[in-house]
Amino acid sequence: MSKSKTIGCYIHIPFCNKICSYCDFCKIYYNKKLVDQYLIELEKEISASYNNELIDTIYIGGGTPSSLTLQQLKKLFEILKRRLNISKDIEYTIECNFDSINNEKLDLMKEYGINRISFGLESISKNNLKILERKINKIKVKEIIDYCHQINLNNINIDLIYAIPQETLKQVKDDLDYVLSLNVTHISTYSLIIEEHTKLKITNTKYIDEELDAKMYDLICKKLNYWDHYEISNFAKSEEYESKHNLKYWHNQEYYGFGLSAAGYEGNVRYTKTRSITKYLNSDYIKEDGIEFLSAHDKIYYEIIMNLRTKLGINLQEFIIKYGEPLNNYYDYEPLVNEKILKLENNYLSIPKNLWYISNSVIIKLLEMERED
């Protein structure tokens, strides 16, 4: 990769103070000694594989990065400052939980250039929180958000989960009303997925009725209709607050992944790091079956399934520059445009927003239109 090229960087911090019932991300109960060892290994991993490209987005996810102590967070930020060639125009995001964040940690984040925070709220409904095994103190939430504004950390995302068993449309509306009262700049809304190896799956939790799930999604879209709905699950107060890092994923652009279970995409390779903390601490980073070597056909596949999650969709001019031929030479999308299943406008191919809820089936229809060699 050219060193003049900018690239994103994902950092995984797997530690949590408690494990939520729905979470399938790679996570470990917080242990001070283990965190200290992990940070040493993280620096070694970055040193071994980073090629000094200019980093224009950093996203520190988890787990719960804010579960680290003030001193450990400082060590993490120092490692990234020392090892990465960070752009002056960086979008620098960290995920936090309200139960493990405080003013001192926020001050430290501000000091080290973090300019975007993503908070896991999920819901304010007592019943929802009980099912998700989370606790929320609304007074603390308000105090933390207010303090973020006080120190000019204004680019704030809130995560919400909906379609939780027994949830009502009113509870979804109440969650949205509460988040809107906080004066944040970005809202991510996710329909609950019951993942393998989670407590919800082990206890045989069932999905809600699909029709109700669709009504909840419709309610969210209508409630946030004056926001920039730029990706199926994501809303920004205006375009300037769209997540630049996540747009790298959706635009099929390259990014590093460092840390336990982190995924990355460089050149012709997509990779996933090991989920074993023992292997990771012994510098055995890559998952056994975690390397995917991409053909041109594979890259085009990812181009389609990722870009069609966004409001703009596939830039057909950029597609020609990337792959040498028009998309229509690979996939015959015109019948789907004629049927209004896809939209062609200003040289972008996208899914009409009224079909976003069934976007997966639309993408499958396009993939089925692959032309014969």
Extents of the domains making up the chain: 6-249, 295-373
**% of the chain at pLDDT higher than 90:** 89
Residue 194: name the closest of 59, 4, 22, 371 by CA: 22
Judged by DSSP in three states, 260 sits in coil
Report the C-alpha gap between 19 and 134 in whole angstroms.
9
* 6-249 has CATH 3.40.50.720 classification: no
Would you say 8 and 256 are in contact if contact means Cβ atoms under 8 Å apart? yes
Q: Output the pLDDT for position 21.
A: 79
Which residues, other chains included, contact 263 with Cβ-Cβ below 8 Å and sequence gap of 6+? 10, 257, 270, 271, 272, 273
Per-residue model confidence as pLDDT tens digits over 180-208: 999 999 999 999 988 887 888 888 889 99
Query: Distance of alpha carbon 24 from its chain centroid, rounded?
Result: 14
Per-residue pLDDT reduced to its tens digit, 73-115: 999 999 999 999 999 999 999 999 999 999 999 999 999 999 9
What CATH number labels 295-373?
1.10.10
- Using CB atoms within 10 A of its CB, is residue 319 exposed (0-12), middle (13-18) or buried (19+)? buried
Q: pLDDT at position 3, please?
A: 46
Q: Where does the pLDDT of residue 158 fall: very low under 50, low under 70, confident under 90, or very high at 90 and above? A: very high
Confidence band for 373, pLDDT divided at 50, 70 and 90: low
**Predicted pLDDT of residue 214:** 97
Residue 42 reports pLDDT greater than 90: yes
Q: What is the pLDDT of residues 135-147, one digit of tens each?
A: 999 999 999 999 9
Q: Residue 1's pLDDT is what? A: 43
DSSP state of 27: -
Mean pLDDT of 278-306: 94
pLDDT digits (tens, 9 = 90+) for 213-255: 999 999 999 999 999 999 999 999 999 999 999 999 999 999 9
At 52, the pLDDT band (50, 70, 90 cuts) reads: very high
Mean pLDDT of 60-68: 96
pLDDT at 204: 85
Q: Report which secondary-structure segment, H or E, holds 96.
A: strand 85-96
Q: Which residues contact 369 (CB under 8 A, 6 or more apart)?
A: 331, 332, 333, 335, 336
pLDDT reported for residue 200: 87
Q: What is the pLDDT of residue 350?
A: 98
CB atoms within 10 A of CB 341: 17
Q: What pLDDT is stored for residue 4 in this prediction?
A: 56
Angle made by CA atoms 15, 21, 24, in degrees to the nearest 5 = 60
Output the pLDDT for position 315.
Answer: 97
Predicted local distance difference test score (pLDDT) of residue 339: 97
Q: Tell me, what's the pLDDT at 2?
A: 43
- Judged against a pLDDT cut of 60, whether residue 266 lies above it is answered with yes
Q: What is the pLDDT of residue 28?
A: 87
pLDDT at 66: 97
Q: Closest Cα partner for 267 from 252, 254, 284?
A: 254
pLDDT range class, residue 287, cuts 50, 70, 90: confident
Give the tens place of pLDDT for each residue, 327-370. 999 999 999 999 999 999 999 999 999 999 999 999 999 999 99
What phi and psi values does residue 189 have, to the nearest 5 degrees?
A: -125, 125
How much is the mean pLDDT over the chain?
95
